[in-house]
Structure 1
Amino acid sequence: MTTIHGFLFDLHGVIADSWQYHLKSWQTVAQELAVPWTAALATRLPGMSRADSLTTILASVGRENDLTPAQFQAMTDHENDLYRQYVAAMTPANRLPGVTAFLTELQQADYPVALASASTNAAAEIERLGLTAVFDKIVPAASLAASKPAPDVYLAAADLLHLAPSACVAFEDTVTGVQAATAAGCITIGINANPLEPVAAMLPGTHALSLATVRRVLAPQVVLAERP
């Protein structure tokens, strides 16, 4: 029987629907590079690092070797600048349905939480969302050796809570995120209308988040630790 002591959250698609802003930024970049923007790219990019996203866009037309390292860096910096303009306009209203109530429930039950995001803008987004007091533990994405689907971000997030990854529930909404959390050893719950693998359980959306639901979908193999 596995006992859960902490909770780890992805940011984009789990706390806020901010991936839409990354996709808008990447669409602009693709247009500037004369790369057709497709539904396949919009589906593949969520969960990827900035470098992997640009590589995927270029590879979609067989141009992954077109840019020099300096040009590549300039283009990823350009996407980040575009994205930060969207971040500056975010407010607590950008939180996804059910997130505020669930985070309040976790706080009241005294469960520790950490943010496991590959975004270097994560702290700024959390501030704009009004959640700095909740997420005082945020993995510094720039310090990671590898991005999702590598397990690094979830290993670091569990370490911030001084817990083994196997003692943490991770919430993810993308294939690469699920792979990262599972590879780290977390008990992973997928949040998506479509099935994700490999996960311990699936929820159709953030509106379904609650401690009661987590207990139900993970039982009987996993239990939540009783908090004082």
Structure 2
Amino acid sequence: MQPQDVRGFLFDLHGVLADSWQYHLASWQAVAQELQIPWTDQLATTLPGMSRADSLQAILASAGRQNEFNAHQRQMLTDHENTLYKQFVAALTPANRLPGITAFLDELVAAGYPLALASASANAPAEIKHLGLTPYFPQIVPASSLRASKPAPDVYLAAAGLIHQHPEDCVAFEDTVTGVRSAKAAGCFTIGINSQKLPQADAMFASTRELSIAAVQRVLGQLNV
């Protein structure tokens, strides 16, 4: 992709627009404690980007209890985590936006680029509202419309459709391995936002502070030299 070929920008929510993964992790840590399962650094590293069902399975598997609980009981546990998380969501404010994100979004809007949110979270509309980001993302992909969560490409295909663009003409921003896989599977040029290298990402920035149109154009140009 050449810089002049970019037609839109697609954003993950957790870890890209706001540091809200910490709240999911806090909620899951509480669930793990209730199940008397030790919370580990490995879980804190593995869970970001996973669906609720996969997160629960990872927690259970970490203690060799992956075969416990029937489908109804698992649903009750994931619903419980969601209830805990919603308490954190209600406390979100624009101050929870990650550094540099507001300026970058303003720059993109001023340049005329369409933006879309690529989040499979059912809580995304509420989070975006509390963060004061609705003007940037007036339309959000309904989580219920997605057949599969990340790393499947569904959410990125749907997000590109919201702005009437082909995924191949969009730049996606992700902060997890699972998210990068999703964006790449959809065909997006994918920029990772993480201090650690994310496999398959086309380019990396260590922090949202580094984001600007010029910086994105620079990495696009470097990869096409």
TM tier relative to shorter chain:
over 0.9
Find out whether 1:172 has 2:174 as its counterpart. yes
- 1:138 offset after TM fit, Å? 1.4
Question: TM-score scaled to structure 2, two decimals?
Answer: 0.96
Distance in 1 (alpha carbons) for counterparts of 2:150 and 2:8:
20
Find out whether 1:92 has 2:59 as its counterpart. no
Find out whether 1:152 has 2:154 as its counterpart. yes
Find out whether 1:133 has 2:135 as its counterpart. yes
Contact 1:23 1:42 (C-alpha < 8 Å) held by counterparts: yes
2:106 aligns with 104
How many residues are aligned here?
A: 222
Distance in 1 (alpha carbons) for counterparts of 2:54 and 2:36:
18
For structure 1, list consecutive stretches of 5 or more residues without a partner in the other structure. 223-228
- 1:220 offset after TM fit, Å? 4.9
1:52 aligns with 54
The CA deviation string for residues 73-94 of structure 1, in whole angstroms up to 9 with x for no partner, is 0110000000000000010000
Distance in 2 (alpha carbons) for counterparts of 1:220 and 1:68:
51
- 1:137 offset after TM fit, Å? 2.3
Distance in 1 (alpha carbons) for counterparts of 2:203 and 2:220:
7
2:78 aligns with 76
Q: Which amino acid aligns with 1:219?
A: G
Q: Which amino acid aligns with 2:156?
A: Y
Distance in 1 (alpha carbons) for counterparts of 2:193 and 2:15:
8
Find out whether 1:115 has 2:148 as its counterpart. no
Distance in 1 (alpha carbons) for counterparts of 2:187 and 2:23:
30
Distance in 2 (alpha carbons) for counterparts of 1:220 and 1:60:
41
- 1:221 offset after TM fit, Å? 5.2
Contact 1:113 1:137 (C-alpha < 8 Å) held by counterparts: no
SS in 2 for 1:219: helix
Contact 1:16 1:96 (C-alpha < 8 Å) held by counterparts: yes
The CA deviation string for residues 46-69 of structure 1, in whole angstroms up to 9 with x for no partner, is 001111111111111221221111
For structure 2, list consecutive stretches of 5 or more residues without a partner in the other structure. none
Distance in 1 (alpha carbons) for counterparts of 2:58 and 2:12:
21
Q: Which amino acid aligns with 1:148?
A: K
- 1:142 offset after TM fit, Å? 2.3
2:36 aligns with 34
Question: TM-score scaled to structure 1, two decimals?
Answer: 0.95
Q: Which amino acid aligns with 1:134?
A: Y
1:225 aligns with none
Q: Which amino acid aligns with 1:107?
A: V
SS in 1 for 2:36: coil
